[in-house]
Amino acid sequence: MENFFIDKEIELRIDRWMKEHEGDFIMDIARLVKHRSVSQPSDSYPFGKECAEALDEALELATKYGFEGKNFDHHCATSIMKGAGGAQRTIGAFSHLDVVPAGTGWDNEPFLLTRKDRFLIGRGVSDNKGPAVAMMYAMRFMKESGIKLKHDVVHYLGSSEETGMQDITYFKMHGEVPDFSIVPDCDFPVCFGEKGIMRPTFSHALCGDLRNFQAGTVVNAIPAMASVSFLGRTITATGKAGHAAFPQGTMNAIAVLCNKLLENEELGGEDQALVHSLLRVSGKSDGSLVGIACEDEVSGALTASATMLAQERGKVWFSMDIRYPVTMDGEIIKQTLAETMGKDGWALESITDSKPYYLPKDTPIVKTLVDIANHVTGEELEPYTMGGGTYARNLPHAIGFGPGIKHAPRLFPMGRGGAHQVDEHISLDVLEKGMKAYVFALIAIDAIIDTL
């Protein structure tokens, strides 16, 4: 079906312009990738020096391209493309510049952009620095091509999306939230719903001979390494890392470690019981071993994985990442999990619960954006829900919109090269298609935002 908002002449201009500016596009992504912007609060900056420097770098680019930049005390920043004037509403685009830790096992330097043919490699190229630059270039193209919208476009750049989204909380307190926003942090065509995200932390008194438990660096990533001390020696295990929201193809190092320990004939009864309980939260990613497995027709099955393990203050601690279906009650999941683990001696120390986000897929804006995405990608993609969490769940009116394309060409086999994985990579063609889709999406939203 031909989309009303697809202008063939504009499309040809985008293709010519992007070809002329591809070198700049790659260099600007490289300028952001070089920053080790893992969100870690410090005395000087809310999310650490590297996150602050990444924001400054992005604002420097935005100013260079003629946009109004604003720094919200290094919690986040905005880049504004002013509309023609007189309009009372604003269009948002929400990106983030913080990344998960690189981890080990890379064949390429994580914080130095590497190009191989039509692929870019480096931490953040797909999640979410590459898409952030794609959005910036959509705005740059429109400005340099004289395409004026009625409404202002606000491009938000965040610094703690991967670690709780405290940045957007600060923004909502100190800035003006756009009337409708797209979030370039998922696959095309449109993500119209996100599962609930629950993150509990449990503790257990130390017992037996196991000490110095260690695994994981961030709660939303399946750990690739785990270790523990037993009778004077250190036992380590290696898994396969990946995003906790998409555990298929990963291997939880905590589960590998547990299975290795259970093969040791010297392991005493108390230690065996502790290891068995840890295996229950790491051995399967569907929650079935702890009684919380569930699914719905809209968003599919629950995922649940123990992702961090540590010893502190005479206790063993683990944290979980749980993504539950959009129609399920998080309180029931919490109670069931607490009761199940409580029988094994684990105490629930803390828990956060970000409620599901859901926008019916038959709404006009969803249909419009699906048509735009399918035109640009040449695919016949269907709108979907996901377990990943984006800024959309923390905004009153927002929706996930690309630029990923399922089944796009890859450099690496599944389990390597994805978001949160080693050798994170993305096709340059995918990013450029995303840039084009964002031009048409902004034009479309500008035309219909008063009806949303």
Taking residues 186-198, what's their average pLDDT? Answer: 96
Provide the pLDDT for residue 4: 66
What is the per-residue pLDDT across 302-354, written as a single tens digit (0 to 9) for each? Answer: 999 999 999 998 899 999 999 999 999 999 999 999 999 999 999 999 999 99
Q: What is the pLDDT of residues 26-69, one digit of tens each?
A: 999 999 999 999 999 999 999 999 999 999 999 999 999 999 99
pTM for the model: 0.82
31 membership: H or E segment, kind and range: helix 8-33
Q: What is the pLDDT of residue 1?
A: 43
In the prediction, which pLDDT does 171 show? Answer: 98
Q: Give the mean model confidence (pLDDT) for residues 241-248.
A: 91
Query: Does the pLDDT at position 399 exceed 50?
Result: yes
More confident residue, 352 or 88: 352
- Asked whether the predicted pLDDT for residue 76 surpasses 70, the reply is yes
Query: From the centroid of its chain, how far is CA 345?
Result: 33
Q: What is the mean pLDDT of residues 95-104?
A: 95
Predicted pLDDT at 38? 97
Within 71-223, residue ranges assigned H as helices are: 129-144, 166-174
How high is the pLDDT of residue 203?
A: 98
User: Where do the domains of the chain lie, and which CATH numbers do they carry?
Assistant: 8-194+357-451 (3.40.630.10), 196-354 (3.30.70.360)
pLDDT over 70 (residue 2): no
Query: Model confidence at 360, in pLDDT bands (50, 70, 90)?
Result: confident
Q: What is the CA radius of gyration of the chain?
A: 23
Instruction: Using the predicted structure, report yes or no on whether residue 198 has a pLDDT greater than 60.
Output: yes
- pLDDT of 87 > 80? The answer is no
pLDDT value, residue 382: 95
CA distance 120 to 129: 12
pLDDT, average across residues 200-228: 95
Mean residue pLDDT across the chain: 95
**How confident is the model over 403-448, as pLDDT tens digits?**
999 889 999 998 899 998 999 999 999 999 999 999 999 999 999 9
121-140 average pLDDT score: 98
DSSP states of 47-70: T-HHHHHHHHHHHHHHHHTT-EEE
Q: Residue 25 CA to chain centroid, in angstroms?
A: 22
- % of residues, the chain, pLDDT over 70: 99
Those residues with Cβ within 8 angstroms of residue 77's Cβ, 6 or more apart along the chain or in another chain: 55, 58, 59, 69, 70, 71, 156, 157
Contact 173, 111 (CB under 8 A): no
Does residue 3 register a pLDDT over 70?
Answer: no
Which among 309, 172, 294, 344 has a CA at the least distance from the CA of 228? 309
Check residue 345 and report its DSSP letter.
Answer: T
Return the beta strands (E) in 360-427 as ranges: 384-386, 398-400, 403-404, 425-427
| Phi/psi-derived region of residue 428, left when phi > 0, alpha when psi is between -120 and 50, beta in every other case | alpha
